[in-house]
Structure 1
Amino acid sequence: MGILFSQGDMDNLKYLYSEVSYYRKFFALQVYFEEKYNIENCGEVIMTPEIITDLKSKVSAILDYQQTHSLERTKEFASQNFPDDNGFFAFEQNYDRYYFKGLNDLMDDIEKWEELSLNENEALIYTCWY
């Protein structure tokens, strides 16, 4: 049985869930959550400070490594530390400009997440739909 909401109630619902970041085809991020938190399609993981710190550590290590090493060595380092596994998506592993753009975008977003002031009734949540 569903619940019937007025238009005013529907307008207010948008404030209960708001998209903070969006990633399209950044498979490494999904692989991270699948392997570490056993998340399934449409599952949710609350982004604790520990998760954010872990992601930041992994991403910054790869971006720092990239500054002083060849692309081939960086790809190898990335595959060991933040894999872009083909898994469900059935694409080959690519450590190309899209992978590194995803890392840079994620690092920018992590810095924004760290600045958020959430109250006790709010949380950052990771979810994926595929």
Structure 2
Amino acid sequence: MGLDMYLYLEDKETSEIIEYSYYRKFNALQGYFVKNFDIPNCGRIGLNHETIDDVYQLLNEVRYDREKAGVLLPTFPGPFFGSYDYDRIYHGYIDQAAADFYHAKFLDFNKYNLFYTSNW
């Protein structure tokens, strides 16, 4: 068991679901979505350009000033949510998510919807 989180695309024409990105026990990202969208277990939210830009900006601020991690994107407690340390693993998640959210800025939103969901 553990916290699994996904970004996925939905093709607007065919309703096909395409996994865009996967995170395992990146509780800080889950905390962002709980705090800002009150997302329940197995809930999903649609992401728009504003949300993508907001998350990307937070991730980059933490990437370039690691001491801000606990303030800007703090770890988030929960059942089987993994480590609460601001260590190599945490910053590896930050780097991966920053790349994913950067690329998400260039998705064709006329063709796809982008969603965030999680399960624990």
Fold match by TM threshold 0.5:
yes
Match of 2:45, SS?
A: strand
Distance 1:96 1:125, change over 3 A: same
Per-residue CA distance 1:61-100 (angstroms, 9 max, x = gap): 111113xxxxxxx1xx211110112234365521111110
In structure 1, C-alpha distance between the alignment counterparts of 2:100 and 2:30, rounded to whole Å? 16
Structure with higher Rg: it is 1
Q: Which amino acid aligns with 2:65?
A: Y
Distance 1:113 1:40, change over 3 A: same
Deviates more, 1:31-40 or 1:88-97: 88-97
Relative to its length, the structure with more helix (as a share) is 1
In structure 2, C-alpha distance between the alignment counterparts of 1:92 and 1:24, rounded to whole Å? 11
How much has 1:123 moved relative to structure 2?
A: 0.7
**Residue 111 of structure 1: aligned partner:** 102
Q: What is the CA RMSD across the aligned residues, in angstroms?
A: 1.8
**Residue 11 of structure 1: aligned partner:** none
Distance 1:26 1:117, change over 3 A: same
How much has 1:108 moved relative to structure 2?
A: 0.7
The percent identity for this pair of structures is 31
Which one of the candidate residues 73, 93, 98 is aligned to 2:89? 98
Q: How many residues align?
A: 107
Where in structure 1 are there 5+ consecutive unaligned residues? 1-13, 67-73
Per-residue CA distance 1:6-26 (angstroms, 9 max, x = gap): xxxxxxxx9611110110111
Where in structure 2 are there 5+ consecutive unaligned residues? 1-13
Per-residue CA distance 1:27-47 (angstroms, 9 max, x = gap): 111111111100001101111
Relative to its length, the structure with more strand (as a share) is 2
Whose relative contact order is higher, 1 or 2, with alpha carbons under 8 Å and at least 6 apart? 2
Q: Which amino acid aligns with 2:40?
A: E
In structure 2, C-alpha distance between the alignment counterparts of 1:17 and 1:91, rounded to whole Å? 27
